[in-house]
Amino acid sequence: MRNVASNHFDLIVAGAGISGITSAAAAASRGLQVALVSSAPGSFVFGAGCVEIDHMDRNTPSLAEALEFFRNLSQLAECGFRGGLEEKRYIPTIMGCFQTVSLAPFYMWNGDPSAANQVVVVGIRGLSSFDSSFVADRLAYHAGKLGRATTYTAHEINLSTAAGTLPGTLQFGNRYDRDPRFREEVRDALLSIAAKADLVILPGILGLKSRNSEIERLENQLDCMICELPTLPPSIPGMRLFNRLEAHLRRVGVEFFTGFPIQQLQIENGHCQGVLLDTPARPLELTSETLILATGPFSGKLLGATFAGVNQDLQPIHAKGSVIADNLFAVGAILRNCSARNLNATAILTGYVGGMLAARVGVQYA
Amino acid sequence: MRNDDVLLDNCLKCSDCNMACPVVKVHPAFPGPKRLGPELERLRREGIHCDTEWVEYCLSCDRCDLACPNQVNVSELIARAKGAHEKPFVRKWRDILLARPELLGKLGQVAPRITNFFLGSKPVRLLLSKFMKITPERSLPAYNKSPLRVTKTAVNQGERVVFFPGCFIQYNQPELGCRVLQLLQLNGFEPELANPGCCGMPSLANGDPEEARKCAQAIVNSMMEAIDAGARIVTACSSCGLMLKTGFAHMLEGDAELAKKADKIAANTFDLAELLVAQQDAGKLNTHFALPINKLKLAYHAPCHQRAQGIGRPWYNLLRQVPGVEIEDLNAGCCGMGGTYGFKEEKHTVSMEVGSELFAGIRASAPQAVVTECATCQMQIEHGTGVRVVHPADILLNALCDCCNRLPLEIDLNTVSDSYVL
C-alpha cells in the first residue's frame, strides 16, 4: 500500500494568497503531490482579485502563459475570470473611481462604463460601508473624464435583517449562501430597478460560496448585468474567490495545513528539507523535495537577515549573491520588486513560474 | 492557533475570524469572535463591565484561532469571558452538571439500566426540559454497565503507551476503548490504561475554569510517573487530545512546577492516528488486512478539535489506504454539537442550524457510514441525519479483524461485541 498518510510531499507551498494558490495549482496540474500550508486565507478578505498589468511590461517572459493558466484555473474552480494580457477595462470601486484592470471575476469585469448606458448604483438601507449616492456621483464624474456618456443613478433597496442586527455584508453573504428565501428577496428587490438599467452596481453580498453560474442565473432573472464591488473587510467577493479556489485545490489532491504559521524553514547546507509548523504541543514537521515561499510582504525574516531578493530563477539569495537553498523558490509579495500597483499580476506570474520550476518544467522568468 | 505570547493588539480587525465562525454563519445576531474576543477584551482589561450572554453561544470550536492571520488567541479570550459570565439560576446549575461528565458517568454507572431507562423516558425528559433546560429534542447518551478496565496485559515487548480514554469512552463507549487498545497492540505497542479522569474541556466550555483546573491538576499528577518512565500518551477523542496538548499548561500557569509538568504531558500526547502514521513512516504499520473486504463507502468528518491540533488529516489518509474502502472528506464545517452545547434547550436550534451544512453534505454523499473520531460529533450527525457514525479506529480494526482472535490482551468487559462489523 502506498503511504499517503506520510508528511512528505513533492512540494510544499507556504502561503494561501493568490501566488501560493497559483503555485500549488500549477504544480498539481503537473502531477506533483502538493501540501499547502498557511496561517490564514491570504489577503482575499481585503479585495476581489482584480489583476492590473498596466504598470508592467506586457512582454515580460511567461506573463501571458501565467495569466492564461490562472484564467483556466478560475474556470475550473467555477469562479471564472474574464480578460487577458491584451485587454483593459475600467472597473469601479466603492470610492467611486475606476481602476484599470486586465483580468477580473466576471461580476467585476461587467462594471466598465463602455458596456452600459444606464447604470444604477444600488445601496442597501442601513449598510454603512456603501454609499450609493456618493458612488454614483463620483462614477459619473470619472466616466465623463474618460469620455464616456454613461449615466449613473443612485437607488436604495431594503433588505430584511435578522432581529436585533444592523445590515452588514457578512450577514447578507451568509444568508445568500444558506437561505433560498433571501435570494428571492434580493432578486425581487432588484427586479424593478434592473428593468430600467443595463447594469446594476451593488455592494458584495452575493454569497461566500456562490459559483459563477449562480450569479449568472441572477443576471438572467433580472435581464441585466450585475457588478458587485468589495466593501470594507470582510470582502464577500474576495472570500468567495478563496473558497472556490480552495475547494478546487482539494479536489485535485492538494493537502491543506491551515491555521499554523511556519516556525522555521529547515535549511541545511544550502538545501531545504522542509518546514516546522507552529502547532500545539510540538511543531509539525513537513518535508518535501521542493519548497515555494509565498508568505507575503512581511515574511522575509523566515529567510534570515541576509535575504536580499531572488535571482532570475526565483531562488532567494544572500546579500552576496549565493542562493539560500537550491530547492527553494520565493513568489508573490515577498519579492521586493513587487509594487502595490501590479501586485496580483506579479503574484500570478511568479506563482505560476515557481510552480512550474518545482515541477521541473522549463519556464523563463525575467 | 493558540499562542499565549501574542499581544491583543495583534488583532487587525480583518474579520477572518468572523468569516470562519460557524455561529456567525447561522445566527447573525451573534456578535462574533472579533467582538467577543479582542474587542471586548480591551474593555474588560480596563475594568469596564461588558459581560454579555452572547459569550455562552460560542461553540468553543477554535475555528477563529485557526483563521486568525496574526495568531491572536481569540477562543481563549472568549473562554475567559465565559468563566466570568453570570448566568441565571437554572442554567447555572445545569452547566455545573454538564461541566462534570466524570461525575455523571460515575453516577450513571451505578445502575446503568435504570439510568438509561429514565434518561430515555418521555416524562423524565420533559421534567429535565422544564427544570434543567435540557432539550427533549435529542436523546442522551446511554451509560454502559461496566467501565473500561484492563485486567491483564500479556508481555508484548512493544513501546509502552498510556491510553487516555476520556469520559465518553470510559463511561459510554468502553467497547471502543477496547478496540483502541487492540489496535495499539496490533501495531506493536504495549498499551496500558490511564487512571480515569476528565480532561476538563467540558468544564472550560461551560464556563467553569476552576473545575477545569482541578481536572488538569489531577491528570498531570497521575500521568507523570508514566511520562517520566518514557511512555507516550495516546488519545482517541479529539477534544481530550486538544486539551492535553494545549489547555493544561495555560490553566496551571500559576504553579511553575505543575506548568512544567503540563508542558511535558503536552509534548508527549499523541492522537492515535498520529502514532499510526508514524508507524507507517517507520514501515511498522500493521497492514495485514483480512481479505476479501467488501466495498465500503464512507464519509469522513474532521472534528473541529482535530483540526485545531494541527496534525493534518491522519485518519482520513490512513483509511483511504485500506483496500475496499472508498472515503470522502466532507469538509463541510462544524457539526454544531459543541460538546454539551447542543443539549442546551436555548441553543438546540442554533446547534442544528450550524450542523445543517454538514448534514446536507452527508446526504449528498450518501455513505454507508460516517467516520469521525469525536463522540459528540457522532451524536449530532446521527441525530441530524440518521446515518450511522463510527470511530475510524473501528474501521481500521475491522479491516484487520482476522488478527483480532489472536490478541494477547484480556479485557474485563462483558459487552465487547462484534457489533462494529459493518
- Do B59 and B303 meet the contact criterion of CB atoms below 8 Å apart? no
Residues from chain B contacting residue A258 (CB–CB below 8 Å): 66, 307
Residues from chain A contacting residue B282 (CB–CB below 8 Å): none
Residues from chain B contacting residue A165 (CB–CB below 8 Å): 28-29
Q: What is the mean pLDDT of residues A316-332?
A: 95
Residues A202, A148: one domain? yes
- Cell 427533549 sits at which residue? B136
pLDDT tens-digit map of B311-344 = 999 999 999 999 889 999 999 999 999 999 999 9
Q: State how far Cα A126 lies from the chain centre.
A: 28
Q: What is the mean pLDDT of residues A190-202?
A: 96
The strand ranges marked E within B286-346 are 296-300, 325-329
How confident is the prediction for chain A on average, in pLDDT?
93
Q: Which residues contact A337 (CB under 8 A, 6 or more apart)?
A: A309, A346
- B17/B63 Cα distance (integer angstroms): 7
A84 at B interface, C-beta within 8 A? no
- B228/B411 Cα distance (integer angstroms): 26
Query: Domain for residue A58, yes or no?
Result: no
Residues from chain B contacting residue A5 (CB–CB below 8 Å): 276-277, 280, 314, 317-318, 321
Query: Domain for residue A331, yes or no?
Result: yes
Where residue B293 falls among pLDDT bands split at 50, 70, 90?
A: low
Lowest mean pLDDT among A16-30, A44-58, A243-257, B220-234: A44-58
- Do A119 and A152 meet the contact criterion of CB atoms below 8 Å apart? yes
Q: What is the model's pLDDT at position B407?
A: 45
> What chain B residue is nearest to A259 in terms of C-alpha separation?
B66
CA nearest to B356, candidates B344, B374, B340, B342:
B342
Chain A and chain B share a number of CB contacts under 8 A equal to: 122
- The number of distinct structural domains making up chain A is 2
Please report, for the domain that includes residue A26, its CATH number: 3.50.50.60
- Do A120 and A133 meet the contact criterion of CB atoms below 8 Å apart? no
CA nearest to A307, candidates A292, A295, A322, A288:
A322
Look up residue A258 and give its three cell numbers. Answer: 491551515
Q: What is the mean pLDDT of residues A319-336?
A: 92
- B162/B141 Cα distance (integer angstroms): 26
Report phi then psi at A97, rounded to 5: -115, 180
- Do B161 and B184 meet the contact criterion of CB atoms below 8 Å apart? yes
Residues A287, A222: one domain? no
Is the pLDDT reported for residue B418 higher than 70?
Answer: no
Indicate the residue among A211, A231, A251 that finishes a domain: A231
Q: What is the model's pLDDT at position B104?
A: 93
Look up residue A90 and give its three cell numbers. Answer: 475600467
- A146/A212 Cα distance (integer angstroms): 29
Check B310 against A234: CB less than 8 A apart: no
Check A259 against B67: CB less than 8 A apart: yes
Residue A165: Cβ-neighbour burial (10 angstroms; 0-12, 13-18, 19+): middle
Check A40 against B19: CB less than 8 A apart: no
Is the pLDDT reported for residue B145 higher than 60?
Answer: yes
Q: What is the mean pLDDT of residues A115-134?
A: 95
Residues A218, A175: one domain? yes
Indicate the residue among A213, A231, A249 that finishes a domain: A231
Is the pLDDT reported for residue B61 higher than 60?
Answer: yes
Q: What is the mean pLDDT of residues B40-47?
A: 90
Check B28 against A261: CB less than 8 A apart: no
Q: What is the mean pLDDT of residues B256-275?
A: 94
Q: What is the mean pLDDT of residues A67-74?
A: 97
Lowest mean pLDDT among A169-178, B352-361, B367-376, B400-409: B400-409
Is the pLDDT reported for residue A354 higher than 70?
Answer: yes
Q: What is the mean pLDDT of residues A81-100?
A: 94
Give the residue numbers spanning the domain of A310.
Answer: 8-40+259-358
Q: What is the model's pLDDT at position B149?
A: 75
- Do A354 and A329 meet the contact criterion of CB atoms below 8 Å apart? yes
Q: What is the mean pLDDT of residues A233-259?
A: 95
Task: Give how far B358 is from chain A: nearest CA, Å.
Answer: 12
Is the pLDDT reported for residue B282 higher than 80?
Answer: yes
- Cell 522549463 sits at which residue? A362
CA nearest to B230, candidates B267, B178, B175, B280:
B267
- B176/B162 Cα distance (integer angstroms): 16
Q: What is the model's pLDDT at position B402?
A: 57
Query: Domain for residue A294, yes or no?
Result: yes
Residue B346: DSSP 8-state: G
DSSP string spanning B163-214? EE-HHIIIII-HHHHHHHHHHHHHTTEEEEEPPP---SHHHHHTT-HHHHHH
Q: Which residues contact A30 (CB under 8 A, 6 or more apart)?
A: A355, A356, A359, A361
Where residue B383 falls among pLDDT bands split at 50, 70, 90?
A: very high
- B175/B169 Cα distance (integer angstroms): 8
Residues A15, A129: one domain? no
Residues A27, A116: one domain? no
Query: Domain for residue A272, yes or no?
Result: yes
Residues A225, A263: one domain? no
- Do A344 and A51 meet the contact criterion of CB atoms below 8 Å apart? yes
Lowest mean pLDDT among A29-43, A243-257, A319-333, A336-350: A336-350
Residue B343: DSSP 8-state: G
pLDDT tens-digit map of B342-365 = 999 999 999 999 999 999 999 999
CA nearest to A303, candidates A311, A295, A313:
A295
H or E stretch covering B124: helix B122-132
Query: What structural domains and CATH numbers belong to chain B?
Result: 8-84 (no CATH), 284-401 (3.40.50.10700)
CA nearest to B310, candidates A147, A165, A261, A347:
A261
Q: Which residues contact A176 (CB under 8 A, 6 or more apart)?
A: A182, A183, A186, A205, A206, A207, A210
Is the pLDDT reported for residue B411 higher than 70?
Answer: no
Residues A157, A265: one domain? no
Q: What is the mean pLDDT of residues A4-8?
A: 84
Q: What is the mean pLDDT of residues B242-253?
A: 88
pLDDT tens-digit map of A198-217 = 999 999 999 999 999 999 99
Check B245 against A258: CB less than 8 A apart: no
- Vertex A24, ends A22 and A28: CA angle to 5°? 115
Query: Domain for residue A296, yes or no?
Result: yes
pLDDT tens-digit map of B218-232 = 999 999 999 999 999
Lowest mean pLDDT among A50-54, A95-99, A128-132, B288-292: B288-292
Check A175 against B28: CB less than 8 A apart: yes
A279 at B interface, C-beta within 8 A? yes
Q: What is the model's pLDDT at position A6?
A: 86
- A143/A91 Cα distance (integer angstroms): 11
Cα dihedral sign, A76-B301-A291-A338: positive
Residues from chain B contacting residue A255 (CB–CB below 8 Å): 312-313
Residues A151, A266: one domain? no
β-pair type (A316-318, A271-277): unpaired
Q: What is the model's pLDDT at position B415?
A: 36
Is the pLDDT reported for residue A181 higher than 50?
Answer: yes
- Vertex B98, ends B96 and B99: CA angle to 5°? 65
Residue A304: DSSP 8-state: -
Q: What is the model's pLDDT at position B155?
A: 59
Residues A286, A206: one domain? no
Is the pLDDT reported for residue A73 higher than 80?
Answer: yes
DSSP string spanning B57-120? G-----HHHHH-TT---HHHHHHHHHHH----HHHHHHHHHHT-HHHHHHHHTTSHHHHHHHHH
- Do B359 and B327 meet the contact criterion of CB atoms below 8 Å apart? no
A41 at B interface, C-beta within 8 A? yes
Cα dihedral sign, A68-A74-A78-A80: negative
Task: Give how far A297 is from chain B: nearest CA, Å.
Answer: 13
ipTM: 0.92
- A173/B77 Cα distance (integer angstroms): 27
Residues A151, A269: one domain? no
Q: What is the model's pLDDT at position B23?
A: 98
Query: Domain for residue A314, yes or no?
Result: yes
Q: What is the model's pLDDT at position B291?
A: 65
- Vertex A364, ends A366 and A29: CA angle to 5°? 130
Share of chain B above pLDDT 70, in %: 91
- Do B220 and B252 meet the contact criterion of CB atoms below 8 Å apart? yes
Residue A254: DSSP 8-state: P
Residues A225, A112: one domain? yes
Query: Domain for residue A268, yes or no?
Result: yes
- Is the model more confident about B150 or about A264? A264
Query: Domain for residue A132, yes or no?
Result: yes
Residues A104, A197: one domain? yes
- A37/A342 Cα distance (integer angstroms): 25
